[in-house]
Amino acid sequence: MINRRNLSLLIIVLVSGLLILIDYFTIRTTSAVRAYINGESRYSKGQKDASLHLVVYINSGEPKYWVSFLEELKVPLGDSTARAGLLNNSTETIIRNGFLAGENHVDDVNEMIWLFRNFKDVSFMKRAIQIWKQADAKIGALALVGEKVRQKTVSGSFSLQEKGSLSQEVGVLTSELTTLEREFSDVLGATARKINTYLFYANIFLTLVIIGSAGYYSTSMIKKLSNANEQFKETLHFGKMGSAELDLTTSNLTVSRELFQLLQVEVNKPQVFPLEQFLATYVDPIYLSTIKQKIREGLAGINEHSKSMVETEFEMITATGRKIWIDAKGIFKGNTALGILHDVTEFKNAMEALEKLLAEKEDLISVKDKFFSIVSHDLRNPVDTLHSFILLVENHIENLSKQEIKMMVRDVNKSFLDTKVLMNDLTTWGQSQMNSKGAVLVPVDLKKSIDFIIDFTKEISAAKQITISYSGPDTLTVFADRYQIDFIIRNLISNALKFTHRGGKIDISMQTDQEYVRLSIQDSGIGISQEAMKNIFQMGKVRSTKGTEGERGTGLGLVLIKGFLEKNSGQIAVESIQGKGTMFHVSLPRLLTT
């Protein structure tokens, strides 16, 4: 059953995932809108150049201007073919060829098709398609005027009056197309601004949800400490006290009835004992020398100041043999010393409990700080990058080249790929916190899992020219949770790749006995400092370190690995020398454990 604390953690993970999903589709939509605006500029230029060549051809009759007219007209006609193909569900090839004929960049075509198909019934796209269709009709009319001009020029029956009339018709079409082209850009530009606004408010709302849930999570986790503090205050009352009066001339001790009650001895009135006898009977022997030293300090204080006070703590033994902690304060004056003895056993126990809770609090605060660090930094950075990109595109679209925009989109995509890794680890961690069932133990071929992970990471190892070798049995079965074991192996190999220099190597080996399989993963990487190894498996205390080529991590992987191994009755150990590499040893049971 999920409690409120775990529910808040689940909300953080889900809302963070939703935030990334929203930003991903927003940047894709904005990129596609940008592609259409760029395409419109090509469309407009092609149409205007075609009109200019046609007018020159009308007046000069030179064939080269007719050829130029047809060449420039291919651009808007190509876009027209793509639009018609999208509306009529034509083949992908026809649509792509149409966009490419319209001089749209090959990298933009997929985004343009995606936007058209998924948003054609949305108001802004519906309006843009309607304008596009009107413009294509004007382009068709321009093509017909061109055919008419061509026929009259070839036949030699082209009068001056007809030339003037057709030139004027071309001018009217150009003016009408210019208006439609401007309206098309305005519609898509307004769309980009709306998307930016919606994204801004969505980011604010979802970030507030994340921060609120994280705040509730951390608050509920330290609520136990607050409750313990209240219990601690209750122990500070002075109800369990007794007194004893020492005659400094005779060393006789008069013990009050209340002090005897603390010692579980029933008396009706104060009792007188020789000091040595009482101490030997009721005080733990290891504290006798301390008490006598305090008495000497009290006597010395009388000689100097006529009155003095001392205090100490020690353990007394009750009539039933139970030990109790006593806080004692002695007032020395004249020939008498009055001692006030307070039973602080509950206080001592509370202090021990408090120290334990304080240690838990430090861990909780560390977890909270880690979580807020992720929320405020690792999640905010890609959102800020996206926001900056959208603002730049919105305000400077006309001044940006396709190459510049492509580079910015690549940077934004890289930022979100890092965030995707973060979300995977956060989701896994959140699930591990809420999964009370532990692990589902089934037979798992460990060698097969290793082969799968090596194949899964082969692109990374190839890119960094890192050699991965294996030595051990060709098949080896353990009883473990298949998903958790795959996570453990994948993270250990990924870490080895991350922290190994280009051209390095990773050695994987397995050994077995009757009870355990021992898996070792050794790399030739940068190694781990002795200081870092002290907290390497502790949530909130391990810091994420960039890899040899700037690869980022979350600092959660090894924490999850240790937790999963504990659920599978396994263990993990690490050896490392800075500059020479690291070796992780994982032990897993071969037999089914309960």
Cα within 13 Å of Cα(28), Cβ side: 17
> How high is the pLDDT of residue 553?
64
Mean pLDDT of 565-570: 89
Rg (CA), the chain: 41
Mean of all residue pLDDT scores within the chain = 81
Helix or strand or coil: residue 573?
strand
201-238 tens-digit pLDDT: 777 877 777 777 766 666 776 676 566 555 544 443 44
> What totals of helices (H) and strands (E) does the chain contain, helices first?
18, 13
Contacts of 231 by beta carbon, 8 Å cutoff, 6+ apart: 350
Helix or strand or coil: residue 453?
helix
Positive or negative CA dihedral for 444, 447, 453, 455? negative
Distance CA 143, CA 425 (A): 59
Q: Where is average pLDDT lowest: 11-15, 147-151, 427-431, 540-544?
A: 427-431
Mean pLDDT of 66-80: 90
Percent of the chain scoring above 70 in pLDDT: 80
Distance CA 288, CA 268 (A): 27
pLDDT-derived band at 394 (thresholds 50, 70, 90) equals low
Q: Which tokens hold the place of 12?
A: 């953080």
How many Cβ atoms sit within 10 Å of the Cβ of residue 439?
A: 20
332-354 tens-digit pLDDT: 998 999 999 989 888 888 777 76
Q: What interhelical angle do 402-434 and 557-567 show, nearest 10?
A: 30
